[in-house]
Structure 1
Amino acid sequence: MRASRNNKWRLTIRSASRWLPAVARTTGIILLTVLILFAVFRATAPFLISSGLVRSGIEKALSEWTGYRAQIEGDPTLEFWPTPRVTLNQVTIREPAKNGKVLGHVDSLSADFSLLSAIRGHAHFHEFHFLRPTLYIRRDENGLIDWTNEGRLSKAIEQVDASSAKGVSIPKEQDAAIGTLTIEDGSVEMTDERSGNLYKMNGVNADISWPRLSQPMTAVILARFNDQDIKLNFDSTQPLLFFAGKSVDAKTSFSSPLISWAYTGTTSISDFSTLSGNLQLSVPNVPSFLAWSGQRLPAADALKNVSLNADVAAIQNGLRFDNLNFKVNDSAASGVMDLNYTPAGKPKISGTLAFDQMNLNPFLAAFSMRLAAETAINAILNGNPLQRLDLDLRLSSNKAGLGPFQFDNIGASLLVSGGKAKFDIGDSGFEGGSLTAHLEVAPGDFDGGGKLQISIRNADFGGLFTRLKLEGPLPLTTSGSLDLALSTTRPIWVATLSDVAGQMHFTSSAGSFRQFDISSFRSLATEKAFFRMSDIADATFDFDSINIDASFAKGSAEVQNAAIAGRNETITLNGVVPFRTNGLALSGAIEATSPSDADELPMLPFFLGGSWPNPVVSPVTTLLQKPIQQPEQ
């Protein structure tokens, strides 16, 4: 059985050995013939193809694509290995009119072409390489790019229509092949008629893959803008619809040292209200970014960095940022934010944001935002951003800070509308008590001044004074309440303490004054004409209550009826406290709290002057005596 199988294998090998050499010889002859024909074809191609044909062909192609007149200086250079390729120098695209405006210029343009088509008298080009091109484009008031002047690209853009969720439909004669476009060391100048700005980019290097007009496109662009390197990535299955200003699905990312963002979803080059996708944005250095972008916001120093991630969706007359997560400096927040337009066409931002911790400085700084007249954005906003932008924000935070002051479980709102700007803290924990506040900027181009109202209840002011490391005789332990109302008629962003007027009322429960020995005060008052507060700083003064009323005007506080009531003695003060010099000019008196103790503790008038925290005390030598009552008859 085994011998029979071996005989069959021998017969098969013998049969194959008869026809294999014939097949090998035939295949070799065919391959050799093809190689000879290819070599002959390539060798004779330079004699068969006219350089003038290639030059006129590429001039015609450029003119047909752009709709403008292509002008080429110098003779083309032809290469046939490894692929047929033509190189032209000094290519200029002009408007059709004689001596028309230059729309683009290329130092050197190279393109592959079909050898067979060229021999037949036709030139078809692909795989373009542009060396040092300069492009001048215009963005009209509708946000659309004036791409071409009735050229093939312009007609394709005009006639394109969506055929499916991922494709486009254009007339067959318009669906031209493009291939790969490479740009080296180019520059772009765009005139934006909507804003009146001129944008320039240089050092442009790009790789664009676009097989046909109806097919997807991917692009990677490197450039330098305002002395910063930038990178732009664009990927879309419907690029022609995108250039037509329609809504398409796309992936776009932009990165630079000062700002980066990435967007995936539906987008449009002319109408951002159709956006629907995910946006990620990061600005690591806000002041540097504003300087780079040509803007100047004086209050922006409070902003260090900003980042956000949100789902963006179109709503009526605007956009909604849902599932919003962002960071401002070291504060993180989440919530919902809307960007829409009022019936008058004014942009409005509204929403609800919840912070884990919040710095109130940037929000209050918004009331002093004033744009420099020479900045580019000023031409767009034409004035204060609070006048050109409406805000309606609800803010909450577990922790909040305003300079050295700390707040707990704060609920606040920021409202800018109808020529007024308001910031309200509706409820907040403050130093163990509660706080409400209202800040308002008056109308009149926000130049009419503003007012501030603060109400604090049952707060630990003694602990606050200790934590702030304030010097001098101040309450050490006390729980108090404060009502403060201030106003100014000057613009908020230029107002100083000298421009502020208002009223203050402060009350407190029992506590103690540090660095104030009332017994030593009385003793020194009988011995010396002058002494310093530091001379009586060896003990504390216990009190039952404090009541202070004061008014503010012209850089000073006028103290009215300030009373610090102790168990046995009460201190009263009246006078002026200038802010700018830390000075004091107060008249006061120490007297018995109970009239029945007046004989034992007679009234001691004094004058308190000098600089805080160590002013000079000058006792009044003539003590005020009560009239001696006559005995009853």
Structure 2
Amino acid sequence: MKTPKKPQGRKSRRVPSRWLHILARTATILLLCFLLIFVALRVAAPYVVSTRMVRTGIENALSEWTGYRAQISGHSELEFWPTPRITIHQIAIRNKQDGNRLLGTIDTLSAEFSIVDAILGHAKFHEFHLLRPSLSLHRDKSGLIDWTNQGLLSNAIGKAHLQNGSQVLEREFDASVGRITVEDGTFALLDITSGRVFHFESVSADIDWRRLSRKMDAVLIARSNGQDFKVNFSSAAPLLLFAGKNADMNLSISSALLTSSYRGTANILSLTGMDGHVSISIPDLPALSAWADRTLPGVATLKSFSLEGDVQAFDHGLRFDSAALKMNDASATGAMDISFRPDRQPRLGGTLAFDLMNLRPLLDAFTLRLGAGEAEGPSEGGLLQKLDIDLRLSAKQAQLDVFNLQEVAASVIVSRSEAKLEIGDARFEGGDLIAHLDVTHGDFDGGGKLQINIRNTDLAAVMDRLHPQGPIPLGRGSIDIDVQTSKAIWLARPEDLSGTVDLEVKNGTLPGIDVDAIRSEAAAKTRFFPLNTAASRAFAFDTLAIKATIKDGAAELDNAQIIGPSQTMSLSGLIPYASSGLALTGSLTATDSAKASEFPPLPFFIGGSWPKPVMSPAPANEASNKG
């Protein structure tokens, strides 16, 4: 009788289950051994790892990392659960090569370490936490900060190099860093070049830097001069950056005063390595200036400023492409460049196009640039004193105080030898406007010259915006202003100007001048009367032509004529506008000599103060004799 064969499939299923059982048992044994070793190390550590050994190890580690001398004067504490950690108090770091100068102190420092390495006598530390550190560092003329000196970090910075677009560091110079946190620190930086000291308080930081050769991420929060700032920094090649070489970097700064960001290639020692995208926003420029202790006189109208665009370095300069600029509510796009040549001052140039532009901040900035560092000018010129400007501007609409201009083309040029502000073309109240401000070459506090040419503009619209008092001609007219001053333009007042003003108006009216009422007062033999009593109607004219010479706060009218359909008014004399005075002689005559009998010559005198002068319909010498 034959024994039946067992199915092959059942045998093949038992083999894997037996191996799985063996594998599970092996893994369990290994895990238990690991746990036993882990627990044994934790239990034995307090007996085999001494506080003195670890304390000396971290003191040496600090010295090796910084390249300076670290001294611990406070007590130390060791913890072994859940992870081995040492906490030390009262650490001082000194520069032995600089007269044992104190670089900084740390109230409390704690760090994790490896028990095995500690048992073997060479503890390695990571995951540092610094409580109330205080650092006082120097920034030399080359821009380097003395925060490391021939230590592990300094050696790594010196040995890192770029290879195939990445940071490369040989293994012998690489080291584990881990996470570094800072709590309630203070930091002072002395800039050797300028002599200024920058103070930062309430410093908190969170730095994630696993190894020197790896990427570094950092977040820093600090307070300076009463303002809080937050800085985010990230770089895949931090050692190259610290060495003053070009490397990728992401940086952002945020506060109530300033928000800025940059991503791209950068160099912390110079601007020559920049190639990326930059964004700067200043919501309150006067507040930022006050915080920085840098007053900006004359720029009260410039409240906010922002700039965003692609920036790229070129030989001796930077170029901003696709730039978006905003000053107050005025936005512009275009391209700008700033150059730094050894034999010249820095120069800002470019072309910007505005949809809506406010010219007042531009004029204020122009005035401030001229006044920076000059005699009787702002005492603190700052960067403006060292900056040349060459900008081309255009705007669909522009505002200058109460006035509106359209299709504006302007330019600003400021250098050591010249300063010019031009409005080459603009539409102004239905007419055309051209303006040119030329500041005296050399010392800008020596005065300047202003030329304004207005053609065929609506004077009624202009006066509606100015709301002047007294008789003002209305109609379409042209104005030519050519004045100069020997005083600095940021100090010049109207009475400091000299030059000429020409006004010509066609087919207009002169409100407040009723020539028929004036003749009626003369017929009644009224010797003096307020001019506003003869103001019931306006004097309609065909042509008004006034030419005035400006000097010492007064305008001298050589021969002003207002030619109406039937009568002509002629004026000459002085208008001391600085004191709102008037001293004019004039006459009313027939426009057509054939009607001289109907409109006989009527001399008169106008005196008193504007806008309520007094008129005497008699010859000036007679009026003065009887007055």
Q: Same fold (TM over 0.5)?
A: yes
User: Is the contact between residue 485 and residue 492 of structure 2 (CA under 8 Å) also seen in structure 1?
Assistant: yes
1:344 — aligned with what?
A: 343
Query: Is this contact kept in 2: 1:147–1:154, CA < 8 A?
Result: no
Aligned to 1:415: 413
Counting only pairs closer than 5 Å after superposition, residues 30-45 of structure 1 correspond to structure 2 as: 30-45=30-45
Task: From the superposition, tell whether residues 402 and 223 of structure 1 become closer, same or farther in structure 2 (CA, over 3 Å).
Answer: same
How far does residue 24 in structure 1 lie from its aligned partner after superposition? 6.5
| CA shift in 2, pair 1:173/1:13, >3 Å | closer
- Contact map agreement 2:85 2:113 (CA 8 A) in 1: yes
Pairing partner for 2:489 from 487, 492, 513: 492
The offset of 1:574, in angstroms, is 1.3
Q: 1:117 aligned to 2:117?
A: yes
Hey, what's the Cα distance between the residues in 1 that align with 2:621 and 2:102? 96
Q: Which of 521, 525, 532 does residue 524 from structure 1 map onto? A: 521
- Structure 1 unaligned runs (5+)? 625-633
In 1, Cα distance between equivalents of 2:99 and 2:342: 47
Contact 1:112 1:128 in 2 (8 A): yes
* 2:427 matched residue in structure 1: 429
Equivalent residue number for residue 602 of structure 2: 604
Residue in 2 aligned with 1:396?
394
CA distance in 1, matches of 2:621, 2:93: 100
Residues 465 and 15 (structure 1), Cα distance of their counterparts in 2 relative to 1, 3 Å cut: closer
What is the match of residue 93 of structure 1?
Answer: 93
Instruction: Give CA deviations for 1:494-552 in whole Å, capped at 9, x if unaligned.
Output: 22122111111111211122232211110012222222222222222211101101111
Q: Structure 2: where are the runs of 5+ without partners?
A: 623-627
Letter in 2 for 1:552: I
| Cα shift at 1:16 | 9.2
Alignment correspondent of 1:139: 139
Q: Using the alignment, how far apart are the partners of 2:37 and 2:456 within structure 1?
A: 101
Q: CA deviation at 1:18?
A: 8.7
C-alpha distance in structure 1 between counterparts of 2:383 and 2:603, whole Å: 55
Q: Secondary structure at the match of 2:81?
A: coil
Match of 1:442 in 2: 440
Structure 1 segments, 4+ long, off by >6 Å, are 7-26, 621-624
- For 2:173, the equivalent position in structure 1 comes to 174
Q: Using the alignment, how far apart are the partners of 2:120 and 2:356 within structure 1?
A: 74
**Helix, strand or coil at the partner of 2:446:** coil
Identical aligned pairs, as a percentage?
A: 46
Distance 1:387 1:242, change over 3 A: closer
Q: Which residue of 2 aligns with 1:283?
A: 282
Worse overlay, 487-496 or 440-449: 440-449
Q: Distance in 1 between matches of 2:418 and 2:405?
A: 26
Q: Deviations over 1:13-64 (max 9, x none)?
A: 9999999888777665554444333222211101000211111111111111
Corresponding residue number in structure 2 for 1:56: 56
- Residue matched to 1:613: 611
Which residue of 1 is the match for residue 450 of structure 2?
452
CA contact (8 A) 1:408 1:430 kept: yes
CA shift in 2, pair 1:89/1:563, >3 Å: same
Matched-pair contact (CA < 8 Å) for 1:604–1:623 = no
Describe the superposition over 1:557-616 as per-residue Cα deviations: whole angstroms up to 9, x where unpaired: 112211100111111111222223322221111111122222221111111122333322
CA–CA distance in 1 between the matches of 2:262 and 2:423?
35
Q: Aligned with 2:425: secondary structure?
A: strand
Contact 1:296 1:372 in 2 (8 A): no
Q: Quick check: 1:490–1:499 contact (8 Å CA) kept in 2?
A: yes
Distance 1:20 1:279 in 2: 60
Distance in structure 1 (CA, Å) of the matches to 2:85 and 2:521: 105
SS at match of 1:272: coil
Who is 2:479 aligned against?
482
The 1:24–1:510 alpha-carbon spacing in structure 2 relative to 1, beyond 3 Å, is: closer
In structure 2, the partner of 1:508 is 505
Closer/same/farther in 2, CA of residues 460 and 124 from structure 1, 3 Å limit = same
SS at match of 1:117: helix
Q: 1:16 and 1:419, CA in 2 relative to 1: closer, same or farther beyond 3 A?
A: closer
Distance 1:563 1:20 in 2: 118
Q: Which amino acid aligns with 2:548?
A: A
The equivalent of 2:81 in structure 1 is 81
TM-score normalised to structure 1 length: 0.91
Matching residue's letter, 1:181: I
Moved more, 14-23 or 318-327: 14-23
Which AA in structure 2 matches 1:358? Answer: M
Structure-1 residue corresponding to 2:108: 108
- Summarize the Cα distance change of 1:214–1:435 in structure 2 as closer, same or farther, 3 Å threshold: same
Residues 392 and 40 (structure 1), Cα distance of their counterparts in 2 relative to 1, 3 Å cut: same
SS for the counterpart of 1:509 is strand
Q: Spell out the pairing of 1:288-307 with structure 2 (5 A cutoff).
A: 288-307=287-306
Asked whether 1:327 is paired with 2:326, we answer yes
Q: Cα–Cα, structure 1 residues 206 and 480, in superposed 2: closer, same or farther, change >3 Å?
A: same
Q: Distance in 1 between matches of 2:97 and 2:579?
A: 74
Please say if residues 518 and 617 of structure 2, whose CA atoms lie closer than 8 Å, have aligned partners that are also in contact.
no
Shift in alpha-carbon separation, 1:560–1:73, aligned structure 2, 3 A = same
8 Å CA contact 1:473–1:516 kept in 2: the answer is yes
Mapped to 2, the partners of 1:224 and 1:615 lie a distance apart of 62
Q: Which amino acid aligns with 2:551?
A: A
For residue 430 of structure 2, what is the amino acid of its counterpart? G
Q: Is the 8 A contact 1:310 1:325 kept in 2?
A: yes
TM-score (norm 2): 0.92
Structure 1 residue aligned with 2:568, among 567, 570, 573? 570
In the alignment, what sits opposite 1:249? 248
Distance 1:339 1:618 in 2: 64
User: For residues 365 and 298 of structure 1, what CA distance do their matches in structure 2 show?
Assistant: 9
- Seen in structure 2, the aligned counterparts of structure 1 residues 434 and 342 have a Cα distance that, compared at 3 Å, is farther
CA distance in 2, matches of 1:323, 1:20: 65
Could you tell me which of 468, 471, 479 is aligned with 2:469?
A: 471
Alignment-derived partner of residue 313 in structure 2: 314
Matched, 1:258 2:257: yes
Q: CA deviation at 1:356?
A: 0.6
Deviation, structure 1 residue 384:
7.6
Residue 274 of structure 1 pairs with residue 273 of structure 2: yes
Deviations 1:58-81 (A, max 9, x none): 111111111111100133210001
* 1:118–1:606 Cα change, 3 Å: same
Hey, what's the Cα distance between the residues in 1 that align with 2:382 and 2:159?
43
* Distance 1:89-1:415 versus aligned 2 partners, 3 A rule: same
Q: Distance in 2 between matches of 1:431 and 1:50?
A: 89
Structure 2 vs 1, CA of residues 237 and 581 (structure 1 numbering), >3 Å: closer, same or farther? same
3-state DSSP of counterpart to 1:299: coil
**TM-superposition CA deviations, 1:385-438 (whole Å, max 9, x none):** 665211111111111121122211111110012332110111111111111111
Matched with 1:628 is none
* SS of the residue 1:38 aligns to: helix
Match of 2:625 in 1: none
Query: Post-superposition shift, 1:195?
Result: 2.6
Aligned-partner residue type, residue 161 of structure 1: H
Question: C-alpha displacement at 1:282, in angstroms?
Answer: 0.3
Paired amino acid for 1:330: D
Decide whether the 8 Å contact of 1:175 with 1:213 is kept in 2: yes
Structure 1 residues 357 and 296, CA gap change in structure 2 (3 angstroms): same
Could you tell me which amino acid in structure 2 is paired with residue 52 of structure 1? R
What secondary structure is seen at the aligned counterpart in 2 of 1:345? Answer: coil
**Alpha-carbon distance, 1:336 to partner:** 0.7
State how 1:538-557 maps to structure 2 within 5 Å: 538-557=536-555
Query: 1:441 & 1:21 partners in 2: Cα distance?
Result: 96
Secondary structure of the residue that 2:256 maps to in structure 1?
A: coil
| Letter matched to residue 111 of structure 1 | A
Secondary structure at 2:65 match in 1: helix
